[in-house]
Chains A and B, each alone.
Chain A
Amino acid sequence: MNDALPSLVSNALIFLLLFSITLFVFIISRRLVIQRRDALFMDRYLAMEQDLLQAISEGGRQPAVDVARKYESQRSVLTHILIDFLDMISGRGQETLKVVFECALRDRCLKDLRSHFLVRRLQATRLAGLFSGPSERARLVDRLKDRPIIRLAAVNALVQSPDEESLAMVFQAFEEESCPNVHTYTNIIYGAGEKVEPFVREHLKQTRSTEKLSLLLELAGAIPLPSLFPDVAGFGGHPEKEVRIKVAKALGKFLVPESYALLERMASDKEWEVQAQALRALGNLKNPGALVLLTRGLFSPVWHVRNNAREGLINLGPLGIRRLEEVARQKSDRYASDMASMALEDISSAREES
């Protein structure tokens, strides 16, 4: 073995040296090519930008069609500029962008939606989400059966123009989705706003998964959908802590006076997380009747409960502030007194700021 070693080292040295030199040449040439390509890209981009701005300021369909025809062979630059403009332009200008997309890029995008390559499908789904209209819905719906990352992009695309049929598909996908992705669904579905109300109501009745139920409740609160109060309140006694927490959170956003009685009960829940959320919600309701509960919360042994009671009392207004002053003065519970002092300090610095 030792006799073979020197020649092995020599050969390895020559091989690695050649490899390194090739790699170096590749890096340099790639950089040169990319610099040239970038310069070309920029030239085209600037030219396109001029024409696109012109088309947007003129308005109407024809100027947009002209831009699309002129640049349909430069798909990559056109795609980039459309995405950049989408971030910058709102209102009617976006319609011009959509017309350009429809005339120059739509066909290719639809073809790529069926591509064998994951990346192409993903990019096409995202593009379709940004620019396409209801006519592409059926193809996007097909993508709901694709891999998770494309499913999410498809859901995102579908809620951009949420009609009843799309939303039904999206919620169906949500119901069938495995748990790790459901948070992301909730984020995306939120974009559809109040239109999701009938679907949330229906799925609150259907869903068996605690996690999905919690997310639907959270969604109902986040949008918010106060008309779902009776449905949400029905879960106030759910055996799962997570669900009860989300109920209290949603009720705190609904601000429905009828929720007071349920929140009052939840403020005495056996789990401190539920108590904490219920106290915050009671504060949001601004019902003076909550003063006693919120004060009691301030003396809780659990920091989170004390903290939320503090926020609740601040939200109650002058009545709550007076109570905070009293608690800050008392000496029997230092933790409650500290929490009340902090609240008063926050209030005074907020006043200073304003």
Chain B
Amino acid sequence: MNAFLESLFHLASNSILVYFLLINSLYFLFVLLSLVGIFHYQRMTSYVRMKEIFSLPLAKPISIITPAYNEGPNILESVRSLLALEYPLYEVIVVNDGSTDATLERLVAAFDLRKTHRVFRKSIDTAPVRGIYTSPKEPKLVVVDKVNGKKADAMNAGLNIARYPLFCAIDADSVLDRDALLKVVRPFHEDPERTVGVGGVVRLSNGCVVKNGQVQKIGMPRNVLARFQILEYLRAFLGGRMGMSMLNCLLIISGAFGLFRKDVALKIGGYRKAAIGEDMDLVVRLRRYLHEQKIPYRITFIPDPICWTEAPEKIKVLARQRNRWHRGLVEVLLGNLKMVFNPRYGMTGMLAMPFYLFFEMLGPLIELAGYGMFIYYAARGQVFYPFAVEFFLLAIVYGMLLSLTAILLEEYSLQRYPRLADVVVITAFGILENLGYRQWLSFVRAKSFLDLVRGHNEWGAMEKKGFALEKE
């Protein structure tokens, strides 16, 4: 029996090595594809005048939907940012999802909101709407006050109210670059029949100066956790999503900033009310529906429209956020297992879904299993330390290489961090994240399985510092 267990452990440890090689190679592949994609995108959009869109007769109007739950500190700055966007025709729908703070009161006071009897078509069932407010000062603004029903429900309420054929989902703690809509809508004008969803880059506003609803000065946050997250966001958006978009199998368009066709979203019933990760859930269900209906489509990512969002700077809040993200991921993948390795769903079924299932979803568990096995062998005195140290270093260097390629992508696409010292700091944090932060994140993500089994469904509220409080 012991011999059997030994060989089982041996097999498991070898499998973990192969897994390690595979996951890093795939990440590297995505990064390489992203490099090609970003380079190509930049050259293809050179000499394009974004404001051309103002002269188009069929420029598609956009409904921006911003669900807000206890967003008091940020809400005014965010709404002002949205009202100041450059786009020919759009409306801003803020859905106050039963906030218990002064979100609604602040909006009412700042924009002189008045309750209206606006009638809307209830295409999707939502928690009751208490009132719809409009502003004589800002005709583009509509505020929906409703009973709390979580983010997906708030988005659906916004979809019911939305008047325009495209809707843009934006988090209330985010601000958009002024030309972000002009950029993100381009695929809908270039390929209007097939384009169903477009995502842009989400970056962290921590350390930046936000004034009058715009990021005025980009800087590096002082908070260590925020610095780790800068790198994570760069890897996720410029590396992962761009790469997957190149392979036409992008599964996530961030809830913080994504543009979709409303008619298709309504056909699948809008956002799934119970979804924890409503953004990924929407994209996966869109892909599933469009593949099953054999409708040619594109869901794509473009690397230059920027949305700025505030990252958690406290360890507890970050843990809650990541726990929720992972629960959302697990829920979406398990809910769509039918798509995994199913050629009917094209690259989505053959690459993206298996990748997310085996590497993103199970990754933390396998990583922790690896640490567990190391402890087991160490306790039995069976660790060949020179090899173990080399392997650990290899993991760090591989991680660092991926971080460096993400930084290279940032340099090619945006180059938003103006100081050379910032690049050095990000690189240093690319090394440091392997010494504790990464392991802690794996633990948090692995714990989410337990929470999911226990039926913990809480949203994991963020504590907001607020843009306005950022010191110059």
Contacts and interface: CB of A to CB of B under 8 A. Distances in A.
Contacts of B384: 6
B contact face: mostly helix, strand, loop, or mixed:
helix
Given A16-B397, A345-B116, A27 B44 contact: no
Contacts of B391: 9
Given A127-B47, A184-B190, A222 B58 contact: yes
B192 A184 contact: yes
A149 B191 CA distance: 10
Contacts of A16: 394, 397-398, 401
Looking at chain A's contact residues, the main secondary structure is helix
Contacts of B134: 349
A183 B192 contact: yes
Interface residues of B, number: 51
B393 A345 contact: no
A219 B56 CA distance: 11
A152 B190 contact: yes
Nearest to A341: B117
A28 B57 CA distance: 45
A126 B423 CA distance: 35
B420 A28 contact: yes
B44 A122 contact: yes
Contact of A13 (B40, B193, B390): B390
A287 interface: no
A34 B393 CA distance: 32
Nearest to A349: B136
B190 A187 contact: no
Nearest to B48: A126
A339 interface: yes
Given A27-B411, A183-B58, A9 B193 contact: no
Contact of B394 (A9, A79, A180, A190): A9
Given A126-B47, A190-B58, A349-B114, A30 B411 contact: yes
A71 interface: no
A304 B191 contact: no
A13 B49 contact: no
B391 to A, nearest CB: 6
Interface string A333-348: 0010011011001000
Contacts of A307: 119
A307 B136 CA distance: 21
A260 to B, nearest CB: 25
A137 B267 CA distance: 45
A48 B46 CA distance: 21
A339 B59 CA distance: 28
B398 A222 contact: no
Interface-centre pick from B117, B190, B411, B415 (highest chain A CB count, 10 A): B117
B247 interface: no
Contacts of A9: 387, 390-391, 394
Contact of A180 (B57, B191, B390, B398): B191
B200 to A, nearest CB: 20
A123 B46 contact: yes
B338 interface: no
Given A127-B47, A218-B58, A27 B116 contact: no
B56 A190 contact: yes
A161 interface: no
Contacts of A83: 47, 49
B427 interface: yes
Contacts of B420: 28, 31-32, 35
A87 B394 contact: no
Nearest to B10: A2
Nearest to B118: A342
B189 interface: yes
Contacts of B59: 187
B51 interface: yes
Interface string B35-70: 000001001101111010001111100000000000
Contact of B117 (A191, A218, A335, A342): A342
Interface in A1-29: 2, 5-6, 9-10, 12-13, 16-17, 19-20, 23-24, 26-28
Contact of B44 (A119, A181, A218): A119
A27 B407 contact: yes
B46 A190 contact: no
B383 to A, nearest CB: 13
Contacts of A42: none
B103 interface: no
Interface in A149-189: 149, 152, 179-181, 183-184, 186-187
Given A26-B408, A28-B423, A87-B49, 7 more contacts: A6-B386, A152-B190, A186-B57, A222-B58, A303-B119, A338-B117, A345-B117
26 contacts: A9-B387, A9-B391, A13-B390, A13-B393, A17-B397, A20-B397, A20-B400, A20-B404, A23-B404, A27-B407, A27-B408, A79-B47, A83-B49, A122-B44, A123-B43, A126-B46, A127-B47, A181-B191, A186-B58, A187-B59, A187-B189, A190-B55, A191-B55, A222-B57, A338-B117, A349-B134
Interface of A: 2, 5-6, 9-10, 12-13, 16-17, 19-20, 23-24, 26-28, 30-32, 34-35, 79, 83, 86-87, 119, 122-123, 126-127, 130, 149, 152, 179-181, 183-184, 186-187, 190-191, 218-219, 222-223, 303-304, 306-307, 335, 338-339, 341-342, 345, 349, 352-353
Interface of B: 14, 17, 40, 43-44, 46-49, 51, 55-59, 114, 116-119, 121, 134, 136, 139, 189-194, 384, 386-387, 390-391, 393-394, 397-398, 400-401, 404-405, 407-408, 411, 415, 420, 423-424, 427
